[in-house]
Amino acid sequence: MKLHIMSGPHQGQTIDSTEHSTEYRWPHPDRPGVDCRYSINDWDGPINGLPGAVQLHYVGTSARR
């Protein structure tokens, strides 16, 4: 599955994932020990030209688990 990050510190990145989750976390690019949280919005449609793509939206940060 291709995850397309639509907002936040990782905006514009595309990530391949085998995980099927409603929330994803990646290390913040500028803040050590902090993760960026991204979520799938169920109401988002497919991205034009990429029917298998999933849009992720930034929902905030949290301390690394």
Question: Mind listing the pLDDT tens digit for each residue in 26-41?
Answer: 999 999 999 999 998 7
Expressed as residue numbers, the domain containing 17 is 2-63
The position carrying tokens 């291709």 is 2
The closest alpha carbon to 15, from 6, 59, 43, belongs to 6
Average pLDDT over residues 39-63: 80
CA 61 to chain centre: 12
What's the CA gap between 5 and 12, in Å, rounded?
A: 6
- Please determine, for residue 63, whether its predicted confidence score (pLDDT) is greater than 70: yes
pLDDT of 65: 74
Q: If pLDDT is split at 50, 70 and 90, which confidence band does 45 have? A: low
pLDDT of 40: 85
Domain count, the chain: 1
Percent of the chain exceeding pLDDT 70 equals: 86
